[in-house]
Amino acid sequence: MAYISNWVRYMAHKLEYSLTLSLKNHTREKLSERELIGVVLKNLVSGRITYLHSGKGQEMAPTMGTNENTLLVRKLPVVDTRYVFIGDAVVLKDPNETNKYLVRRLAALEGSEMVSSDEKDEPFVLEKDQCWVVAENKEIKSKEAYDSRTFGPVSMADIVGRAIYCLRTAVDHGPVSNSEFAMEEDSPILAVELNVDEMAKDHKA
């Protein structure tokens, strides 16, 4: 019964993702109705809503380790406050090198007042569609961390997915701790699309 429930929830997520992606393509490329239905069906039947991402660095230790790690990342149909939540480990475009990607913890969303521990810095409020991301390695000083404390707020549009499973080594792996709501939403996707053997093959030792 649990398997059936997970499969039904998974297919609902997949249908939502397929429809959203297809409508975006329709808006951009002016697809015909037939082409639109074809894209939806193709994504629904053979598409995946996760991908593998390889990363390295100390910023997200201990969650992601300090050496090479392989992440299973959930693609998000739309990046807004309905799909990402404070506490999520998100994959986003590097603000300074848009062909590279970072993994950081989502710490604040639009409308949040940001107050610095440095009295010289003026408080400010995150604007619409802005967010604040942080590294979680507490051993890195805030001024040395490559996150919003050094490069400032980032656009929600730069988020490409949520990390839901991390393989640090072949024997050290597990789900990524995210917000409670996100983990509940992602559980059927993990149940269907997680393949640790595939991740291990992709992993760079």
Q: Which residues are catalytic?
A: 59, 104
How far is 203 from 69, CA to CA, in rounded Å? 7
Token pair of 77, please?
């149909």
16-52 exposure pattern, b = at least 16 Cβ within 10 A, e = fewer:
ebbbebbeebbeeeebeeeebeebbeebeeeeebbeb
Instruction: Say if CB 87 and CB 179 are below 8 A apart.
Output: yes
User: Phi and psi at residue 106, in whole multiples of 5°?
Assistant: -75, 120
